[in-house]
Structure 1
């Protein structure tokens, strides 16, 4: 797998000269850099290793004014070569660069003690001891140290061999399928058009792929790929990569943007970060302090919102929220650096816990353990935490990838494990962001909430058999997505908690509860319509002897219709459902015997009914799609 080495060290300690001596490549490409003799922008080179592999090299500026460019370069490196001049020893930017590498999670490297041709042996021995003392307690405390001279070549073979061995034995952890390239250069190449460069920190880019610039929605296609000066069909993670973008001008792109595939990153203005304040920081970081925030190749102002304290003291670590004036795209586990404003100095750094933060009240005791767990959780546990925080909104597969930093195969396995154990559920197979999942406890809470809602509804409406899906969606389910609403309903039906019938939903054990007088009325009405058959009595004739109005009796009529005992043919005209079913069969038999149509006369002959009921029943059969009217006749409606 490709490996990237970065330089670090104070200005004028010979970083660029050493890289040229090792690789033959001059990383100072700007006229101003050559004129002033200092590195301003990032420089890039490569070193061929035994066996045909190549070590990518990023040369960073050492001047304090260009530390932001140093951070942009260090964000993509695997190990560091700390360069210290033998004639000066450890200097301010030596320490700051080392702090930045530590904050960015760099854990491996070596030390090159340059300009040894300018000092004698006693001085070199003293400086070596000072350097060892200065590196005590850092990740380079036990790193090999190589005295070299870029001018005489002294020590270069040994340094070159050590770099080759370090690169050969290094196994960087990179994802294979979420391609991201933080852009550090944008320029026009004659005959090709707009080109961006950066270190591909994850995934792989292929020729012809569709890509997007984040945080904007600018789309393009990869027209050409180069890595270490060679044209390639594919560039994997860990490579310095130049991408020729189709249809874009230089002014369409900004350094600091991230090139990735469309729909794979989700920029936000609030991030949650595990922030560590350097023990060497001159002061604490107070709540709402404005800072310079570095992520990848991007620098922007941000405010630190401390959640459990008023200030973060030097040497302390805490989970906080970073709030930005514009959206920023990142992934769980990304490393960040925070620098103070005046004077500019590296103060803190840490890890992204969520690049899509959620509103959290300060000193919220319930939120604290969740945030703490996010800092240490891995695999399925981390997936479960992120799903739990998402609540009823749930998370799509693409969004889960950015919130967990898991490979797609590992994420698939974690989700399968969770779903099998009831810790999560797949609620939508074709969501906008891929398969969509909701946490198991969230679903359990929704199921209970729905059951409680239904119980309250039945208590409030004892004469109704249930509630329609549309009414339920506009009341209890109005805050849910249609897919989640449907999922919860079907889940309750499968579990036997709900029952359905007559186009309504109800609790499985619910039965219409009639008061004694209403129960008596139900019996009277049902008896009247059963006896009436296809010639039922008028509503008025039934209710007047009982001193009831239709408005008073209407709830009982509704119960009988919900139960399927009577049907309403037209306003004020009801029939026994059994009689209607018998009539429907008789009509179907009429057509089955060879008749092609039926008029009022034929219907009267078939049923013996008067016009009063005849027309109402013909229209009812049309409405129920048994027959269809064609002119003055009815034909059997075909399926």
Structure 2
């Protein structure tokens, strides 16, 4: 019967995780005399307690939970799936509007780009063309969007496709969030779908790598999702991964360990992760830079850490960069002596010509102990270029 069918369908609905970051779309906002600003909505994930600090997006305004009501009853805590009213302290009603999202600070970001799976209704009389403007509904938010068809020239009635939604106003979305689109004019419902990536890059059409990446996201496999996000950066901390995936910490730890055991990822001493491919690629680049440096300067012990970082990984933390070098040193790929990076076991071996020039410089300074020549005089005395003199002097200084 209908009741049994509904019960069966309810059992198949996945439960909302209470250990995920807190997030709630705002569907109503009003003021209550003596209490101040009140918002209502349904908790999509996580939990919240009285006194917690929260962030209102997309404005990124901060507030504090003064009181929580669940189904009209005052509670100290609310959890995912519950319908709640929150009395906020530290913010006026004018700074919140329907469709905003209240969330755990620092975990969610607003965007004007969304990657999604879009399904068009079968009864429509015409297809959806590329970059067609539509009204886009997500939670309690309504914005105007242009739909970029990533894998088709046009989307026919009843068909499904991967798309990128380009919005006229920022929204907050996460993997799996449902949305509806309505035609721009007249406003009739024409389709809907679910979000695959709430923080994508701007795509071009018919890119196989983009389409394949979105299909991986669509599978919903946490390990594949983590690996895909690792591929976007050379080095990622667990915090970076959680910020991008919104997965709970225990899932990230477990699935990261699986990737490490499968030799798809490497954990550095800093706790950050790299894909094996990124590690191999950066290792090759370090070696290439050192080789190029030695070809130009045979008397140099190596490159400074600062120069290597500026060439290879300018945007990562010094802690992660030092951990990366430490990993290469453990694998006997390089040696790090104070601030100098060299090939593992590398020792300077001057040529016969260089040895003679070095001895001439040393003898010159010894013979003029009380009136040593200035550095700028040496190129003319030795009949060499200034850069060569710099190399000789640096070598002698390193040797003491």
**Length-normalised TM-score, structure 1:** 0.56
Partner of 1:197: helix, strand, or coil? strand
Residue 150 of structure 2: aligned partner: 307
Partner of 1:446: helix, strand, or coil? helix
1:179-225 per-residue CA deviation (whole Å, 9 max, x = no partner) reads 22111111122322211111112211211111111112111111111
Task: Identify which of 363, 367, 380 aligns with 2:223.
Answer: 380
1:16-58 per-residue CA deviation (whole Å, 9 max, x = no partner) reads xxxxxxxxxxxxxxxxxxxxxxxxxxxxxxxxxxxxxxxxxxx
Question: Is residue 413 from structure 1 mapped to residue 258 from structure 2 by the alignment?
Answer: no
Q: Unaligned stretches of 5+ in structure 2? A: none
Question: Is residue 468 from structure 1 mapped to residue 304 from structure 2 by the alignment?
Answer: yes
| Bigger shift: residues 377-386 or 219-228 | 377-386
Conserved in 2, the CA contact under 8 Å of 1:458 and 1:510?
no
Whole-angstrom CA distance in 1 between matches of 2:87 and 2:69: 8
Whole-angstrom CA distance in 2 between matches of 1:163 and 1:248: 45
Conserved in 2, the CA contact under 8 Å of 1:427 and 1:487?
yes
Task: Identify which of 451, 454, 457 aligns with 2:290.
Answer: 454
- The alpha-carbon distance between structure 1 residues 499 and 334, as it changes in their structure 2 partners (threshold 3 A), is same
Structure 1 position 302, deviation (Å)? 1.0
Equivalenced residues, count: 394
Whole-angstrom CA distance in 2 between matches of 1:345 and 1:402: 36
Conserved in 1, the CA contact under 8 Å of 2:282 and 2:312?
no
Conserved in 1, the CA contact under 8 Å of 2:144 and 2:169?
no
Whole-angstrom CA distance in 2 between matches of 1:395 and 1:303: 32
Residue 70 of structure 2: aligned partner: 227
Residue 276 of structure 1: aligned partner: 119
- The alpha-carbon distance between structure 1 residues 164 and 378, as it changes in their structure 2 partners (threshold 3 A), is closer
Partner of 2:87: helix, strand, or coil? strand
Whole-angstrom CA distance in 2 between matches of 1:270 and 1:405: 17
Whole-angstrom CA distance in 1 between matches of 2:244 and 2:123: 31
Whole-angstrom CA distance in 1 between matches of 2:6 and 2:280: 56
Whole-angstrom CA distance in 2 between matches of 1:501 and 1:334: 51
Conserved in 2, the CA contact under 8 Å of 1:203 and 1:236?
yes
Task: Identify which of 352, 372, 376 aligns with 1:516.
Answer: 352
Please list, as runs of the form range in 1=range in 2, the aligned pairs for 1:528-607 lying within 5 A after superposition.
528=363, 548-549=382-383, 555-562=391-398, 564=399, 566=400
Whole-angstrom CA distance in 1 between matches of 2:248 and 2:89: 29
Whole-angstrom CA distance in 2 between matches of 1:556 and 1:450: 24
Task: Identify which of 358, 377, 380 aligns with 2:201.
Answer: 358
Partner of 2:303: helix, strand, or coil? coil
Question: Is residue 285 from structure 1 mapped to residue 121 from structure 2 by the alignment?
Answer: no
Conserved in 2, the CA contact under 8 Å of 1:454 and 1:506?
yes
Residue 47 of structure 1: aligned partner: none
Conserved in 2, the CA contact under 8 Å of 1:291 and 1:341?
yes
Whole-angstrom CA distance in 2 between matches of 1:366 and 1:175: 31
- The alpha-carbon distance between structure 1 residues 418 and 561, as it changes in their structure 2 partners (threshold 3 A), is same
Whole-angstrom CA distance in 2 between matches of 1:313 and 1:483: 52
- The alpha-carbon distance between structure 1 residues 524 and 328, as it changes in their structure 2 partners (threshold 3 A), is same
Conserved in 2, the CA contact under 8 Å of 1:387 and 1:438?
yes
Partner of 1:356: helix, strand, or coil? coil
Residue 368 of structure 1: aligned partner: 211
Task: Identify which of 331, 343, 346 aligns with 2:174.
Answer: 331
Partner of 2:202: helix, strand, or coil? coil
Residue 109 of structure 1: aligned partner: none
Conserved in 2, the CA contact under 8 Å of 1:427 and 1:436?
yes
Conserved in 1, the CA contact under 8 Å of 2:268 and 2:327?
no
Residue 207 of structure 1: aligned partner: 50
Task: Identify which of 487, 492, 501 aligns with 2:328.
Answer: 492
Question: Is residue 247 from structure 1 mapped to residue 128 from structure 2 by the alignment?
Answer: no
Please list, as runs of the form range in 1=range in 2, the aligned pairs for 1:394-433 lying within 5 A after superposition.
394-397=235-238, 400-401=241-242, 403-404=244-245, 406-426=247-267
Question: Is residue 340 from structure 1 mapped to residue 176 from structure 2 by the alignment?
Answer: no
- The alpha-carbon distance between structure 1 residues 229 and 548, as it changes in their structure 2 partners (threshold 3 A), is closer
Whole-angstrom CA distance in 2 between matches of 1:341 and 1:447: 52
Conserved in 2, the CA contact under 8 Å of 1:187 and 1:194?
yes
Structure 1 position 425, deviation (Å)? 4.3
- The alpha-carbon distance between structure 1 residues 186 and 539, as it changes in their structure 2 partners (threshold 3 A), is closer
Whole-angstrom CA distance in 2 between matches of 1:204 and 1:462: 61
**Length-normalised TM-score, structure 2:** 0.86
Whole-angstrom CA distance in 1 between matches of 2:333 and 2:370: 38
1:477-497 per-residue CA deviation (whole Å, 9 max, x = no partner) reads 435443443333222222221
- The alpha-carbon distance between structure 1 residues 325 and 481, as it changes in their structure 2 partners (threshold 3 A), is farther
Residue 445 of structure 1: aligned partner: 281
Whole-angstrom CA distance in 1 between matches of 2:368 and 2:381: 25
Task: Identify which of 173, 182, 186 aligns with 2:15.
Answer: 173
Whole-angstrom CA distance in 2 between matches of 1:171 and 1:307: 29
Whole-angstrom CA distance in 2 between matches of 1:249 and 1:410: 37
Please list, as runs of the form range in 1=range in 2, the aligned pairs for 1:139-218 lying within 5 A after superposition.
144-145=1-2, 172-177=14-19, 178-218=21-61
> Which structure exhibits the higher relative contact order, with contacts defined as CA atoms closer than 8 Å and separated by 6 or more residues?
2
- The alpha-carbon distance between structure 1 residues 554 and 323, as it changes in their structure 2 partners (threshold 3 A), is closer
Partner of 2:382: helix, strand, or coil? coil
Larger radius of gyration: 1
Whole-angstrom CA distance in 1 between matches of 2:26 and 2:228: 31
Note the aligned Cα RMSD (angstroms). Answer: 3.3
| Bigger shift: residues 254-263 or 460-469 | 460-469
Partner of 1:366: helix, strand, or coil? helix
